[in-house]
Structure 1
Amino acid sequence: MTSVAVLGTGLLGTAIAKRLLDVGLEVHVWNRNPARLAPLLEQGATAVQELQGAAQGRNAVITVLRDGGVTASVVDALGPLHGTTVMPMGTMGIEESRQLARHVVPNNGHYLEAPVLGSKPQALDGTLLVMAGGDAQVFEEQRPLLSHLCQEPLLVGPVGSGAATKLALNQLIASLTHSFSLSLRLIQRAGVPVKTFMAILRPSALYAPTFDKKLQRMLDHSYADPNFSTDLLRKDLRLFLEEATTAGLQDQGLSGLLSLLEQAKGTDLDEQDYCALHELTALT
């Protein structure tokens, strides 16, 4: 039986672990706060008591952690990797991922970055989008596992390319949400019915499905029960901007959006759904 360790059981990590349990895998789980493991243990997961040695006997170690720094510290705490494959699924910087690979491989491990697009609902039904970066042979070895989470996992290139793809997509989340919020506010203040605006937008080339997914939340100013928080969106946008600077890209427009998101710090918006940035796009 395939044996997997899932390190980090927040919203996404818990859903990934549940999915792997549902398809019959042996799943070992860890969280800095052991109390958060309870639902998974009830479903049949085994708790990882100590990170040291947790890779032994595992076909893969999946990390679903906040950022590259936290991921590196957790992987380092595993000790010898015993030939297992480390697969970070959280968002991290390009060079952070490459540095982690340089740590894993000499430590008798394999490395395949596998960031995902999607959240709890997609993880639970196996429809996440996986953008892997790494060696083609390692990818093929892990394809059966990844296929439990994604209908068609893709190898996008060498280590770093998966991280870059994930950041590029998360930048679109921020930019599309911001632009839709501004457009929505303008037409409302001009007296254009939202229904009329959406009837024009939906059949056009400008339409993105995320607009309808977030429309009612914005109209109701209701952002509870997030799949992805404003805080995490801001963190990922900042990371994208750092990578854009390194790549020599013009980032002036996005810098303004990051400044806008900074206004959510220390407020209730930070822990709410990321489309709560709609609350920041009106001066009054």
Structure 2
Amino acid sequence: MKAYMPTAQRRPAFVQLAHTRSGQLDCSLPSAHQLQSLRMHGLWRAAPVSVAPLSASRSRASATVRAASALDMTEERPRVTVFGTGLMGSKAAQRLAAEGFQVTAWNRNTAKAEALVELGLDFKAAQHEAVEECDVAVLFLADADAIESILFSNSKALEALRGKTVLQMGTIGPDQSRKIGEQLAENGVKYIEAPVQGSHPEAYAGTLVIMVGADEDPQALPAWNVIKALGKDPIFVGAVGQAAAIKLALNQLVAALTVAFSTSLGLVERNGAPVDKFMELLRGSKVYAPTFDKKLPLMLDRSYGKANFPTKHLLKDIKLFNEEARSSMLNTDFLEGLESLINTTVNAGLENSDYSSVYEGVSPPVNTLVHPPSSEDAFVVIDPVGPRTATPVGKKH
């Protein structure tokens, strides 16, 4: 199948995405709660700004959805089934319903899908019945294995997909995406990859950053209106596999930036240097990124809260990136260290915490002197998760 390529782009798609919106890079102002924490630590002296935090009330979020309609009344709204109704899938389903789409939900965990019925969405327990109800199957599934299981393990469901479109919106590898696309094409099913930057608040508001890969012009397919409803100004980057590659490239930057900042912050703290002066100098430099201020209070408090993007998902994406880098004959020395550090964080029980918890992998419990050096130096272990208290555990040998 001949790949359809955009006729004109003013700059590379990767650059366009980097300049569009931040997504998981969190390149926006800190939330009200984070600003309060920064001020408590004396690390934020900017003038107050009026920014509605992502944790706004449900009623305000609903108003945002209605006000930000991406489609006019004349545009086609194909029937949609959302497969995978976790945090992202459920919010995407609600967004599509608010945009006037007929939405059916399916999930292995029926309780998650049934919860959407109370909001007016349809639910089908059988995969083939869920497929029969749609023109576009939207996938928000954990990984390529889950996708292949849903699409190819049920012959009735695969047959029901013939002539329809699969819109894959999760993070998988480029080769994995191409393989899925080829298998679907053999069965008469169109395939579009559309991985996203952003989390469930952006899915609910329809402001996801969406990069699109397809082997024909996706804008000519009904699925394009589904994409437009979930993200403002989606970017078509090229053939299947190319959007998946850019998505992994962006998530590698998320990991690298966060670990780099954690390492610098750790050195500053371990040497007793004032963090406020470090941040003042950093904010005025060319290497500053707003994500540093968003993650700083979490790291200082060593409290990582409820995650929009947990550490376990970051680890999965870095492993995928590492595999693709090796197959592309890139030097992976740096990536292997990055993967090892994130894996250490996950193994410390922080797999469901915000990905800024990599600070615990960078600055773990260490033996620290509690008084000036002498033959009787006592050592302590600092608990990086609990309060910052020193507890003697032994003597220097």
The answer to whether TM tops 0.5 is yes
CA contact (8 A) 1:9 1:36 kept: yes
Q: Which range moved further: 1-10 or 53-62?
A: 53-62
Cα distance in 2, alignment partners of residues 136 and 151 from structure 1: 21
| Farther-moved stretch of structure 1 (244-253 vs 192-201) | 192-201
Give 2:178's match in structure 1, choosing from 88, 98, 106.
98
What code does the residue aligned with 2:288 have?
Y
Q: Could you report, residue by residue, the CA deviation over 1:75-102 in whole angstroms, capped at 9, with x for unpaired residues?
A: 1232221321101111111111011001
2:254 counterpart residue number: 173
Q: 1:37 matched to which residue of 2?
A: 113
Q: Could you tell me whether the CA contact under 8 Å between 1:132 and 1:139 is conserved in 2?
A: no
Match in the other structure for 1:16: 92
Distance 1:186 1:267, change over 3 A: closer
Identity of aligned residues (%): 41
Number of aligned residues: 284
> Is this contact kept in 1: 2:106–2:130, CA < 8 A?
no
Give the AA of the match of 2:328: A
Write the distance in 1 (CA, Å) between the matches of 2:209 and 2:127: 28
Deviation string, structure 1 residues 126-147 (Cα, Å, up to 9, x no partner): 1111011113423442322211
1:71 and 2:152 aligned: no
* Alpha-carbon distance, 1:53 to partner: 4.3
Of structures 1 and 2, the one scoring higher in RCO (CA 8 A, sep 6+) is: 2
CA distances 1:193-232 after superposition (whole Å, capped 9, x unpaired) = 2222222222322112221221111111111210111111
What does residue 232 of structure 2 align with? 151
State the SS of the aligned residue for 1:79. Answer: helix
Identify the residue that residue 287 of structure 2 maps to in structure 1: 206
Structure holding more helix per residue: 1
Q: Does 1:237 align with 2:322?
A: no
User: Residue 81 of structure 2 contacts residue 104 of structure 2 at CA under 8 Å; is this kept in 1?
Assistant: yes
Structure 1, residues 44-73: CA drift from partner, whole Å, max 9, x if none? Answer: 111122112432342311111111111111
C-alpha offsets along residues 159-203 of structure 1, whole Å, 9 cap, x if unaligned?
A: 000110111011111111100101111122233322222222223
TM-score by structure 2 length?
0.69
Q: CA RMSD in A?
A: 1.5
Q: Distance in 2 between matches of 1:172 and 1:29?
A: 33
| Contact preservation (8 Å) 1:56, 1:84 | no
2:268 corresponds to 1:187 = yes
- Determine which of 318, 332, 353 is the counterpart of 1:272: 353
The answer on whether the counterparts of 2:114 and 2:123 sit within 8 Å (CA) in structure 1 is: no
State whether residues 53 and 79 of structure 1, in contact with CA within 8 Å, keep that contact through their aligned partners in structure 2: no
Q: 1:130 aligns with which of 207, 210, 221?
A: 210
1:281 corresponds to which of 340, 344, 362: 362
DSSP-derived class of the 2:192 partner: strand
Partner of 2:79: 3
Q: Distance in 2 between matches of 1:83 and 1:256?
A: 45
> Could you tell me the TM-score, scaled by structure 1's length?
0.95
Q: Which has the larger radius of gyration?
A: 2
Q: Secondary structure at the match of 1:156?
A: strand
- Structure 2: gaps of 5 or more residues: 1-76, 367-397
Q: Which residue of 1 aligns with 2:306?
A: 225
| Paired AA for residue 14 in structure 1 | S
What is the rounded CA distance, in whole Å, between the counterparts of 2:93 and 2:325 in structure 1?
33
